[in-house]
């Protein structure tokens, strides 16, 4: 299972959903904007979610999306 988040969707309500999804599926991949990495890590740590596989995405000036596995 994977979920793509935008800058405005990195919040406690989304983190509650991640918690539910990480329990419901054996693998949960979370794609987040690079700019929200620290905020996302804090939300995951507060909820003690260790089985979430993080991927960061960013868009360059040409509109190319790059995804990086952490």
Q: What are the DSSP E strand ranges found in 1-70?
A: 2-4, 28-33, 52-59, 65-69
pLDDT tens sequence across 38-56: 999 999 999 999 889 999 9
Tokens of residue 39, six digits? 């905020």
Task: Check residue 50 and give its pLDDT.
Answer: 85
Give the Cα separation of 7 and 25 in Å (integer). Answer: 24
pTM here?
A: 0.91
9, two tokens? 């969707």
Domain spans, the chain: 2-69
Chain centroid to CA 70: how far?
11
């Amino acid at each position: 299972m994977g979920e793509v988040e935008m800058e405005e969707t990195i919040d406690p309500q989304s983190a509650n959903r991640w918690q539910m999804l990480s329990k419901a599926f054996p693998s949960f991949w979370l794609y987040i904007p690079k700019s929200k990495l620290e905020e996302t890590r804090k939300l995951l740590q507060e909820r003690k979610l260790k089985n979430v596989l993080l991927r960061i995405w960013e868009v360059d000036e040409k509109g190319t999306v790059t995804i990086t596995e952490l």
